Amino acid sequence: MADSIVCVAPVGDRCGEGAVWCAYEASLYWTDITRFLVHRYDEALRAVKSWLFEEPVVALCLTDKPGCLLVALGSELIYWWPETDLRQSHGFSLPGAPRVRLNDGRADPHGRFWVGSMKNNVRPGGELYIPESGPAQGILYRIAQDGEATLWRETIGISNTLCWSPSGDTFYFGDTLSNTIYAFDYDGVSGAISRERPFFRGFERGAPDGSAMDREGCLWNCRFGGGCLVRIAPSGGVVGVIEMPVSNPTTCTFGGPDLKTLYITSAMGGPSERLSGSLFALSVNVPGLPENRYGGLAS
């Protein structure tokens, strides 16, 4: 099913996340949430460049304009052009921030951006902390191409895993704290989700973090605290488990010229985990799906 894991960038992220493959640059972008960084790994040069932001950077998304990314910060969305480092407000700000913050996000096949939130666990200086207990405060939003935000789900612990099936008619969304990935029917025309049901729950190794979808309709899910990735069939059954050299894999996406390289980010683990916080790569037999783009920019 796959070859061995390779460490391609030992960057020491405290909380690597948000991996997105940019085909026209042959590069991978990802974030370090608590150091407020965005990294770019140039696949040909095997070199990393990093940019600093003013608050946690939690998710990245290609847009319909080459060279421009949609960046989800803890409290808002912005447009960003890495070549010039130009940054512009998107217009969406998260209600309730900084009590809550944004987390995982991804564009759907029709150019809308979906992003979830969670109770904030990052202090202004970047330190992680455990917030006081209370009701789950995460919300799932859909951001249309014109910037209109629609609330689709509430009472989420930690929003993670936003993926669509190859046919585009099934949406997958996870709540890390409930150890559950849900499936929904997805209407591409209206952008509506419906018929929520548990898809993958109670897996004993770690908790669900970010995921990627391959062309066979299998979901590759990073298991935070579980030291592995699990490949899940459309039926919800486990196809295989990929062992990681670190305990906290965080998110993944397919890249490379044939989309047969699975890139995996990670967060810091115990003191004995020398490679924790690194970017890893895994050669696989089944290619992934191309990255979706947010279509919110005027032409």
* Catalytic machinery residues: 209
pLDDT for the residue 2: 55
The arithmetic mean of pLDDT across residues 276-291, rounded, is 97
Residue 299 lies in a domain: no
Residue 50 lies in a domain: yes
CATH number, position 231: 2.120.10.30
Beta bridge partners of 154: none
Quick one: tokens of 24?
């026209």
Residue 191 lies in a domain: yes
The radius of gyration computed from the CA coordinates of the chain, to the nearest angstrom, equals 17
Quick one: tokens of 164?
């669509």
Give residue 214's domain range: 6-294
The arithmetic mean of pLDDT across residues 79-97, rounded, is 97
**pLDDT tens per residue across span 237-251:** 999 999 999 999 999
Question: Rounded to an integer, what distance in angstroms lies between the CA atom of residue 74 and that of residue 277?
Answer: 20
The arithmetic mean of pLDDT across residues 88-96, rounded, is 97
pLDDT for the residue 88: 97
Residue 203 lies in a domain: yes
The arithmetic mean of pLDDT across residues 62-80, rounded, is 96
pLDDT for the residue 297: 41
Domain count, the chain: 1
pLDDT for the residue 3: 61
DSSP for the chain reads -B---EEEE----SBEEEEEEEGGGTEEEEEEGGGTEEEEEETTTTEEEEEE-SS-EEEEEEESSTT-EEEEESSEEEEEETTTTEEEEEEEE-TTTTTEEEEEEEE-TTS-EEEEEEE--B-TTS-B--PPP-S--EEEEEE-TTS-EEEEEEEESBEEEEEE-TTS-EEEEEEGGGTEEEEEEEETTTTEEEEEEEEEE--SSSEEEEEEEBTTS-EEEEEETTTEEEEE-TTS-EEEEEE-SSS-EEEEEEESTTS-EEEEEEB---TT-TTTT-EEEEEBSS-BPPPPEE--S--
The arithmetic mean of pLDDT across residues 138-158, rounded, is 97
pLDDT for the residue 132: 83
pLDDT for the residue 65: 86
Residue 1 lies in a domain: no
